[in-house]
C-alpha cells in the first residue's frame, strides 16, 4: 500500500469561504479519511489554514484577491513539499483549480522537468483581464504556460510538458474571441476522450515527460454525472470513463494528484459527496507500491 498525504484546500477563487471552499470538509464528513485509510497508508495533514478572503477584483492584476491567491500558492507549496520530502504521495482535495499553481513549484524541485496531465472540463487559460469572472480558476493553466501574468511565483511549463484531456469550452472561447490552447499542447476534448479513455490517456502520457503531476477538475464529468459544480456545460464524460482515466494516470505513478471543483452547497443530501469519496478511495488504491 502506498503512503499518501491528504491535504485539504478550503479555497474559492471567488474570494469567499463558501461553495467549493467547503468541499474538503464535506468530503471528510462523507467518510473520506476512513475510505482512503482502507486503501493506503494515510497521513491526514488536515486542511490548510488560509487568510480571510477578499471578494474584490483587483484592477491592476485583473484577479480577485491576488494576495489571497499568493497565500494559497505558498501554503500548497509548503504542504506538498513536506509530503514529497517525507516520501509520501500528496493528494490534495479542493477547493478549486489554482491549487495546481502551488503543486507545480515542489514538483519542479522534485524532478527537473515535470509533465502535467490536465484533466478538466475547461482550458483555464484566460489572460487575467480577459477572464469573465476574475477568478484564478479561469487562468491557472495560462499562468503555468507563461502566457498570463499573475502575482504568484510559479514555474513556466513548456508546451511539450502539458497534456489536456476533456476540455469542452472551445465554443464559448470562440464566442468570446479567446484563443484556444488546442494547437499548442497535446489536447483531446471530451468527445475524443469518450471514444477510448484508457488509450487516449496512455497516448497523453507518452507525450509527456516520464514524471508528471495529475490535475483533475471534476467538472470534466457531465452535469448528469456530477451536478454539484458551479459552471455547467453540455457534454462531459461519465464516472466509468473517469475511472479509466484515473486507472492509467495513477497507474503511471504521478508525482501527486489534486482533485478540485465540488460545491457541497449544491449537494444538500450529500449524494455527490459520497460518490466522490468512493471514486477517490477506489482510485487511490490504483497507485503502485513504492
pLDDT at position 144? 96
Within a domain: 100: yes
Q: Could you tell me if residue 280 is inside a domain? A: yes
| Count: domains in the chain | 1
Distances in whole angstroms, Cα of residue 236 to Cα of each of 62, 130, 181 = 29, 25, 18
Q: Is residue 192 part of a domain?
A: yes
In the block, which residue shows the cell 503543486?
103
Residues 245, 188 contacting (CB under 8 angstroms): no
pLDDT at position 148 over 80: no
The pLDDT tens digits for 151-194 are: 888 999 999 999 999 999 999 999 999 999 999 999 999 999 99
Segments forming the whole domain that contains residue 222: 3-284
Average pLDDT over residues 214-227: 98
- 149, pLDDT greater than 80: no
What are 70-125's pLDDT values in tens digits? 999 999 999 999 999 999 999 999 999 999 999 999 999 999 999 999 999 999 99
- Cβ burial, residue 203 (10 Å; 0-12/13-18/19+): middle
Is 290 inside a domain boundary? no
The string of DSSP codes covering 143-190 is: HHTTSS--SS--PPPPGGGEEEES---HHHHHHHTPPPSTTTSEEE-H
pLDDT at 153: 84
Give the CATH number, domain containing residue 147: 3.40.800.10
Question: Is residue 93 included in any domain, yes or no?
Answer: yes
pLDDT at 5: 98
Runs of H (alpha helix) within the chain: 23-29, 32-37, 66-85, 99-110, 140-144, 170-176, 190-195, 197-207, 239-251, 271-284
For 220, list phi and psi in degrees, rounded to 5.
-65, -20
Amino acid at each position: 500500500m502506498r503512503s499518501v498525504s491528504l491535504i485539504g484546500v478550503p479555497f474559492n477563487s471567488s474570494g469567499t469561504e463558501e461553495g467549493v471552499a467547503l468541499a474538503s470538509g464535506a468530503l471528510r464528513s462523507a467518510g473520506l479519511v476512513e475510505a482512503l485509510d482502507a486503501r493506503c497508508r494515510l497521513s491526514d495533514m488536515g486542511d490548510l489554514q488560509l487568510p480571510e478572503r477578499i471578494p474584490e477584483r483587483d484592477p491592476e492584476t485583473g484577479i480577485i484577491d491576488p494576495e489571497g491567491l499568493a497565500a494559497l500558492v505558498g501554503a500548497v507549496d509548503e504542504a506538498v513539499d513536506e509530503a514529497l520530502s517525507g516520501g509520501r504521495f500528496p493528494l490534495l482535495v479542493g477547493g478549486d483549480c489554482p491549487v495546481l499553481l502551488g503543486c507545480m513549484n515542489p514538483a519542479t524541485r522534485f524532478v527537473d522537468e515535470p509533465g502535467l496531465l490536465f484533466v478538466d472540463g475547461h482550458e483555464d487559460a484566460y489572460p487575467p483581464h480577459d477572464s469573465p469572472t476574475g477568478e484564478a480558476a479561469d487562468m491557472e493553466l495560462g499562468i503555468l504556460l507563461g502566457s498570463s501574468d499573475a502575482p504568484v511565483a510559479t514555474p513556466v511549463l513548456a508546451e511539450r510538458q502539458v497534456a489536456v484531456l476533456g476540455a469542452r469550452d472551445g465554443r464559448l472561447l470562440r464566442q468570446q474571441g479567446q484563443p484556444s490552447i488546442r494547437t499548442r499542447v497535446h489536447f483531446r476534448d471530451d468527445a475524443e476522450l469518450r471514444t477510448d479513455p484508457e488509450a487516449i490517456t496512455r497516448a497523453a502520457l507518452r507525450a509527456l515527460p516520464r514524471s508528471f503531476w495529475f490535475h483533475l477538475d471534476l467538472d470534466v464529468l457531465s452535469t448528469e454525472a456530477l451536478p454539484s459544480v458551479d459552471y455547467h456545460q453540455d457534454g462531459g464524460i461519465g464516472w466509468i470513463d473517469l475511472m479509466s482515466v484515473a486507472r492509467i494516470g495513477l497507474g503511471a505513478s504521478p508525482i501527486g494528484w489534486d482533485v478540485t471543483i465540488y460545491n457541497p452547497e449544491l449537494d444538500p443530501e450529500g449524494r455527490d459527496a459520497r460518490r466522490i469519496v468512493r471514486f477517490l478511495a477506489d482510485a487511490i488504491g490504483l497507485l503502485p507500491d513504492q
